[in-house]
A and B are shown apart, each in its own frame.
Chain A
């Protein structure tokens, strides 16, 4: 569950997952497969890189039973993600959407800051 003190705002939401930002603790919350996990900013992007690097083709073509699922245990979280190929694709979509919104927000804020300073000109 998301911390009750958290000031969360929705970053990106899909039917199978969502990312929220807590501006009080400066972290991101990932909601995925009935779990919520908090990530520090850099950990969040590191996690995205890890998920993007999973070799889905290998998961699908490898016939050994252990290859059906990918185990991801991000540092500094107490979470263990057990992901099927479909989960990986879904998670990628959530993280990519969130990253896009985070960058868009950053860009909008940058323009607003500039406007605020230069408005009197």
Chain B
């Protein structure tokens, strides 16, 4: 019997499923950061609002990168439903704490994907997710560094204004 399955797709079903799950996670992250952007804007935290708007765009790009990969490999990418996006946040600091936790969650997911690829001997997808794993180092670094500003500067007096002013300068210079 002719092998029709391979003609259609190069992706194993469980790999396609876990990649589609990641599409949804990135879409959720994008929507969450956009909500944070709006909240920061409302609080008069201009730079933070910009920071999160940019983050939201980046997460959408991550989503599309995964989305296109699935389709390019003959799979079927699913445009995800995004639900449960908060509209209100507890505090300025809390927003960045949540950001760090969110990024660490994403890193964990990509570790799981890499693990699945390894077990399925899908080194093509394994290679594809390397980019994301490297990206997560930067994402976690930036979130953690910004969070440290809350201790270094302090929120008292004009502290919140100072933090908002300085957080745009946090950049990741790589491993050198």
Contacts and interface: CB of A to CB of B under 8 A. Distances in A.
A23 B1 contact: yes
Given A11-B1, A105-B1, A42 B6 contact: no
B76 interface: yes
A35 interface: no
Contact of B3 (A9, A42, A109): A109
B71 to A, nearest CB: 11
Nearest to B12: A103
B4 to A, nearest CB: 5
A100 to B, nearest CB: 12
Interface residues of B, number: 10
Nearest to A102: B5
A106 B3 contact: yes
A12 to B, nearest CB: 11
Interface residues of A, number: 15
A contacts with B: majority SS? helix
B8 interface: yes
B5 A106 contact: yes
B91 to A, nearest CB: 41
Interface of A: 9, 11, 21, 23, 26, 28, 41-42, 46, 102-103, 105-106, 109-110
Interface of B: 1-9, 76
Given A28-B4, A106-B3, 15 more contacts: A11-B1, A21-B2, A21-B4, A23-B4, A26-B2, A26-B4, A26-B7, A41-B8, A42-B76, A46-B76, A102-B4, A103-B5, A105-B5, A109-B3, A109-B6
28 contacts: A9-B1, A11-B1, A21-B1, A21-B2, A21-B4, A23-B2, A23-B4, A26-B2, A26-B4, A26-B7, A28-B4, A41-B4, A41-B5, A41-B7, A42-B8, A42-B76, A46-B76, A102-B5, A103-B5, A105-B1, A105-B3, A105-B5, A106-B3, A106-B5, A106-B6, A109-B6, A110-B3, A110-B6
